[in-house]
Structure 1
Amino acid sequence: MTQDMFFQGWGGVLRVLIVGTLAYGWLVLLLRVSGKRTLAKLNAFDLVVTVAIGSTLASILLSNSIALAEGITALTLLVGLQYAVAFLSVRWRPFARAMRSEPTLLLHDGAFCHAAMRRARVTEGELMTVLRADGRRATPDEVGAIVLESDGSFSVLERKAGAILKFDAPHQTVT
């Protein structure tokens, strides 16, 4: 029993080598054909697709119950759906708005935007962590803005003399 935990026979190893190589090759081909946008992490949907592709590849490699044809179909479906979403987002603005969120202004000229922070579920302490991670600033007064981007990352914008950062006040989104 303990022996099966470490080695279950050469058949499984051979399957992983063959199926893994073929599935990986197919995925590389799909990604080359579909373009760089397929794995860009510009919004939450992109992140979900990227994680799903990785999970699907792992399942193909390690699960004896998933045939190579099924795995290739699943990978193709995920990449195809991602391509379709990106295609429609570029060509139809209402679809694009439904698929991605707008960047949110959380700090402007040293002042926390508390209503926007509540909607984004971000605390002042977390924004201070963002400032420390940025490495160049110690206090909110020293930056022009902190923006929560569509992909969930934070951007720290420089405060420049005479520069005005425009934003849509009702939604606190950067324009």
Structure 2
Amino acid sequence: MFVDSATLDLIIRSFLLAALAICWVVILVRINGLRSFSKMTNFDFVMTIAMGSLLAGASQSTSWSAFFQSGLAMATLFLVQYSTANIRQSSDRFESWMQNAPVILMRDGVILEAALKETRVAKSDLIAKLREANVLEFSKVRAVILETTGDISVLHGSDCNEELLQGTCHIKSAE
């Protein structure tokens, strides 16, 4: 691709194509904005994984056409992300189709076993998240929410504004 020596060509190709691909991703992020690699939705997570894969593919390309195909695929992913974000903002129906609802795992100091079972979250993982949030007493926990991104939010203190729980899913126990 660059020189006749296979080893030297491999080294030059690795450095140059990786650098070009990274620069291309930085340009795309600057165009698309701060949300590019956020983890706000399932789609954002998939976008991040796919971008990493395409970046690796571009860095290992053995021809310019393969390199440009990876670059075009990256640009297309950013375009799709931009478009879906705009559609989600303007359409509640599309938003609900694209996104799972966050699930309450604990409410007012009580662990909701049915929600843990439904979401396949281990009680030990929940307790670890409570420790990370510096919770000292279950009774001080207003809500623990499994967010759409897979993150766990812990709301603790004396009160919890109900607006913070807006759009969450409440799983009823089977009792």
- TM-score scaled by structure 1? 0.82
Contact 1:109-1:144 at 8 Å conserved across structures: yes
Partner of 1:5: none
Q: For 2:27 and 2:44, how far apart are their aligned partners in 1?
A: 19
Task: Provide Cα deviations, 1:33-77, integer angstroms capped at 9, x if missing partner.
Answer: 111112110122111101110111011112426722111111111
Match of 1:148 among 146, 149, 153: 146
Are the counterparts in 2 of residues 39 and 46 from structure 1 also a CA contact under 8 Å? yes
Question: What letter matches 2:140 in structure 1?
Answer: E
Instruction: Work out which of the residue numbers 12, 19, 22 in structure 1 matches 2:20.
Output: 22
Larger mean Cα displacement after TM superposition, 57-66 or 109-118: 57-66
The 5 A counterparts of 1:63-78 are 63-64=61-62, 67-78=66-77
Aligned residues: 164
Segments of structure 2 that go 5 or more residues without pairing to the other structure are 1-5
The aligned counterpart of 1:158 is: 156
Offset of residue 117 of structure 1 = 2.0
- 2:42 is matched with 44
Q: Are 1:131 and 1:139, in contact at CA under 8 Å, matched by a contact in 2?
A: no
Contact 1:109–1:159 under 8 Å retained in 2: no
1:4 alignment partner in structure 2: none
TM-score, normalization: structure 2? 0.82
Distance in 2 of aligned mates of 1:98 and 1:104: 16
Structure 1 segments of 4+ aligned residues over 3 angstroms from their partners: 163-168
Tell me which residue corresponds to 1:124.
Answer: 123
- Output the aligned Cα RMSD: 2.4
CA contact (8 A) 2:17 2:60 kept: no
- 2:155 alignment partner, SS class: strand
Counterpart code for 2:37: L
Unaligned runs of 5+ in 1: 1-7
Structure-2 residue corresponding to 1:59 = 57
- CA positional deviation for 1:118: 2.1
- Conservation of the 8 A alpha-carbon contact between 1:116 and 1:171: no
Say whether residues 1:107 and 2:103 are aligned partners. no
